[in-house]
Protein backbone atom coordinates (compact mmCIF):
# COMPACT_ATOMS: atom_id res chain seq x y z
CA UNK A 1 0.00 0.00 0.00
CA UNK A 2 1.63 3.26 -1.12
CA UNK A 3 0.50 5.38 1.81
CA UNK A 4 2.47 3.38 4.38
CA UNK A 5 5.64 3.92 2.35
CA UNK A 6 5.03 7.67 2.53
CA UNK A 7 4.35 7.74 6.28
CA UNK A 8 7.96 7.53 7.42
CA UNK A 9 7.84 10.58 9.66
CA UNK A 10 6.80 10.57 13.30
CA UNK A 11 3.08 9.87 13.41
CA UNK A 12 1.03 8.24 16.09
CA UNK A 13 -0.59 4.87 15.42
CA UNK A 14 -3.94 6.69 15.48
CA UNK A 15 -2.83 9.12 12.76
CA UNK A 16 -1.54 6.25 10.64
CA UNK A 17 -4.84 4.40 11.02
CA UNK A 18 -6.79 7.57 10.16
CA UNK A 19 -4.77 8.16 7.00
CA UNK A 20 -4.97 4.51 5.96
CA UNK A 21 -8.76 4.56 6.37
CA UNK A 22 -8.99 7.81 4.41
CA UNK A 23 -6.73 6.41 1.68
CA UNK A 24 -8.82 3.26 1.31
CA UNK A 25 -12.01 5.29 1.17
CA UNK A 26 -10.55 7.66 -1.44
CA UNK A 27 -9.56 4.69 -3.63
CA UNK A 28 -13.07 3.32 -3.23
CA UNK A 29 -14.60 6.66 -4.25
CA UNK A 30 -12.39 6.68 -7.32
CA UNK A 31 -13.11 3.05 -8.16
CA UNK A 32 -9.44 2.06 -7.97
CA UNK A 33 -9.03 -1.65 -7.26
CA UNK A 34 -5.40 -2.26 -8.22
CA UNK A 35 -3.29 -1.00 -5.31
CA UNK A 36 -0.21 -1.27 -7.54
CA UNK A 37 -1.59 1.34 -9.94
CA UNK A 38 0.81 4.34 -10.03
CA UNK A 39 -2.25 6.56 -9.56
CA UNK A 40 -2.43 5.29 -5.96
CA UNK A 41 0.73 7.23 -5.15
CA UNK A 42 -0.97 10.50 -6.13
CA UNK A 43 -4.03 9.60 -4.08
CA UNK A 44 -1.85 8.77 -1.07
CA UNK A 45 -0.01 12.10 -1.31
CA UNK A 46 -3.29 14.03 -1.49
CA UNK A 47 -4.68 12.13 1.50
CA UNK A 48 -1.57 13.00 3.52
CA UNK A 49 -1.81 16.62 2.37
CA UNK A 50 -5.44 16.91 3.45
CA UNK A 51 -4.77 14.97 6.66
CA UNK A 52 -2.17 17.57 7.61
CA UNK A 53 -4.92 20.19 7.82
CA UNK A 54 -6.18 18.62 11.05
CA UNK A 55 -9.37 17.01 9.78
CA UNK A 56 -10.03 13.91 11.85
CA UNK A 57 -12.77 12.20 9.84
CA UNK A 58 -11.43 9.68 7.28
CA UNK A 59 -14.37 10.07 4.90
CA UNK A 60 -13.99 13.85 4.88
CA UNK A 61 -10.25 13.55 4.22
CA UNK A 62 -11.00 11.15 1.37
CA UNK A 63 -13.62 13.43 -0.19
CA UNK A 64 -11.33 16.43 -0.01
CA UNK A 65 -8.37 14.47 -1.43
CA UNK A 66 -10.48 13.28 -4.36
CA UNK A 67 -11.68 16.85 -4.94
CA UNK A 68 -8.09 18.11 -4.95
CA UNK A 69 -7.17 15.52 -7.55
CA UNK A 70 -9.97 17.01 -9.63
CA UNK A 71 -11.69 13.85 -10.81
CA UNK A 72 -14.98 14.18 -8.89
- Do 18 and 58 touch, CB atoms closer than 8 A? yes
Q: Read off the pTM.
A: 0.90
> Percent of the chain having pLDDT more than 70?
94
Q: How far apart are CA 65 and CA 38, in angstroms?
A: 16
Most confident of the ranges 2-6, 36-40, 62-66: 62-66
Q: Is the pLDDT of residue 14 over 60?
A: yes
Mean pLDDT of 47-70: 96
H helices within 1-72, ranges in order?
Answer: 2-6, 13-30, 39-51, 58-69
The residue with greater pLDDT, 36 or 58, is: 58
In this structure, the number of other CB atoms found within 10 A of the CB of residue 27 comes to 25
Amino acid sequence: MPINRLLKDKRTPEEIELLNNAFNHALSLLGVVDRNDPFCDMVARKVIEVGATGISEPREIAKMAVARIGLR
